[in-house]
Amino acid sequence: MIALPPLPYSYDALEPHIDKLTVEIHYTKHHKGYYDKLVAALAGYPDLAKKPLLQLLTGLSEVPAEIRTSVRNNGGGLWAHTFFWESMCHNGSLLDPEGNLARAISRDFGSFEAFEKQFKAAAAAVFGSGWTWLVHDTQGKLSIRSTPGHDLPQVDGFEPLLVIDVWEHAYYLKYQNRRPEFIDNWWQLIDWAAVEKRIKT
């Protein structure tokens, strides 16, 4: 079932790190735009429109060729933005140092500081438009992956835990070309409690 989930907070909830106007445009124009285009692409395919979005996106070979690219791009954009909003909260939340997530980060990256450095460097290094994800594989091992466009890590068999949108529309109004500064400030907004809940134990 295709739906545009509501933004989980007000447009100004992420100030000062992400400004109100950027959030408003990002949600009401970009995120909603992907939703609208996906709905339009699926208009002639009622059976596909009833399927869960992730099922469509991880089974693109079963989507008719004439709408496959639109479903991939707009459907991926719809899914990834929802996940992005739900990865942040006002002022961020603290990582539970005793929790599963903290333990997995230490195990797979050596330390939280090493993970933070590696994640930020990966996000800064994305060429053009894309996303950087913290994911885990079927064994629960964590890694950092970047995807171009609106491609999702689930397509390659990884489950996402956290994501940052590094398309220019995510930061250009406030940060212009200073993507690393945006990444540093976005880091303050991460809802670690939400990320932790995504770990399947």
Look-up: residue for tokens 């996303």?
131
**Per rule CB under 5 A, is residue 196 in the interface with Mn ion?**
no
Which residue in 79, 104, 165, 171 binds Mn ion (CB under 5 A)? 165
Q: How far is CA 120 from CA 7, 56, 84, 87, 199, in A?
A: 25, 30, 16, 15, 21
**CB-nearer residue toward Mn ion: 30 or 174:** 30
**CB-nearer residue toward Mn ion: 33 or 52:** 33
Only segment of 33-41, 151-159, 170-178, 179-187 that touches Mn ion (CB under 5 A): 170-178
Only segment of 56-64, 117-125, 152-160, 164-172 that touches Mn ion (CB under 5 A): 164-172
Question: How far is Cα 163 from Cα 141, in angstroms, rounded to an integer?
Answer: 17
**CB-nearer residue toward Mn ion: 67 or 78:** 78
Which residue in 79, 83, 115, 167 binds Mn ion (CB under 5 A)? 167
* Helix/strand/coil for 159: strand
Q: For 131-169, b where at least 16 C-beta lie within 10 A, e where not — what string?
A: bbbbbbeeeeebebbbbeebbbbbeeebebbbbbbbbee
Residue ranges in contact with Mn ion by CB under 5 A: 30, 165, 167, 170
